[in-house]
Structure 1
Amino acid sequence: MPSPELVAALYPWLLPLHITLVTLSVSLFAARGLGVLAGQAWPMRDWARGLAPVIDSLLLLAGGTLWWLLQLNPTQQHWLLAKLVLLIVYIVLGTLALKRAPTRGARAACYVAALAVVGFMVGIALAHHPLGWFAP
């Protein structure tokens, strides 16, 4: 268990870092998704495809550190479990949107759905409630 001093020292910069990395990750996905839907080549170039795992790895490290620092447990904090389940849904939809869906229409639907899932995850994170924006 981390000491209160360690929590006080790390949390003020770790949470904004986590939020910044989420913003970068989703922004890159949104831009790449629009590029794919527009038929552009750049979203699938090595630099664009390689940047996402770097950002997402840093995001995973920051999120995991926050879990440890705050001693969060998804089986006890149901809002966190909801976010994790939706993260998997977002990853699947994002993969379909960028390359796996068979048609442009299916890619567009998956793209919109992935962004909607992210929006719901933001609501969950802000409300600390599994219903997110719809919490009582």
Structure 2
Amino acid sequence: MIEFYAQIKWVHILMVMCSGSLFLLRGVLVQTGKPRFAMAAPVRYLSYSIDTTLLTAALMLLTILPGAVFANGWLTTKLILLVVYVILGTFALKRGRTPRTRTLFFLAALATFVTMYGIARMHSPLGWILLLQ
């Protein structure tokens, strides 16, 4: 399966960008008082499809890569932040009780997404901080 590594990685990165963009769109809709559009069935199903493809590609990459990718902790850190991102996202889109809390959760989820992206790009748990050194 190693011969398909580049294509699987490309799909994974594309789905990361699609997932993040759709979350941003849905979050903006919630923030502007249009949660009905953000939670509409077609948008939710698109989100499920994107996230399922993203997770499938991630698991395929995980089976291809050697166990050494866990050696420096970047992948582990990214996976932990993924759980944080999902929790923050659910509070940002529907579980936050007030508009203010939904806004705070939305901003925290976006910051978490950008942090995960930096960790993945730099292959380091420090992520974007490496650029400051």
Shift of 1:101: 0.6
Report sequence identity in percent. Answer: 40
Relative to the length of structure 2, the TM-score reads 0.92
Shift of 1:46: 0.8
Shift of 1:74: 6.8
Q: Distance in 2 between matches of 1:29 and 1:75?
A: 28
Which residue is equivalent to 1:117? 112
Which residue is equivalent to 1:34? 28
Shift of 1:73: 6.0
Aligned residue type for 2:127: G
Q: Distance in 2 between matches of 1:73 and 1:39?
A: 46
Q: After the TM superposition, which residues 67-78 of structure 1 pair with which residues of structure 2 at under 5 Å, given as runs?
A: 67-72=62-67, 75-78=70-73
Change (3 A) 1:74 1:104: farther
- Please state if 1:101 is matched with 2:96: yes
Unmatched runs of 5 consecutive residues or more in structure 1: 1-5
Q: Distance in 2 between matches of 1:50 and 1:99?
A: 16
Q: Distance in 1 between matches of 2:11 and 2:38?
A: 25
Unmatched runs of 5 consecutive residues or more in structure 2: none
Q: After the TM superposition, which residues 120-131 of structure 1 pair with which residues of structure 2 at under 5 Å, given as runs?
A: 120-131=115-126
Which residue is equivalent to 2:58? 63
Aligned residues: 130
Aligned residue type for 1:64: L
Q: CA RMSD in A?
A: 1.4
Residues 61-110 of structure 1: CA distance to partner in whole angstroms, max 9, x if unpaired?
00010111112467534100000010001000000000001100110111
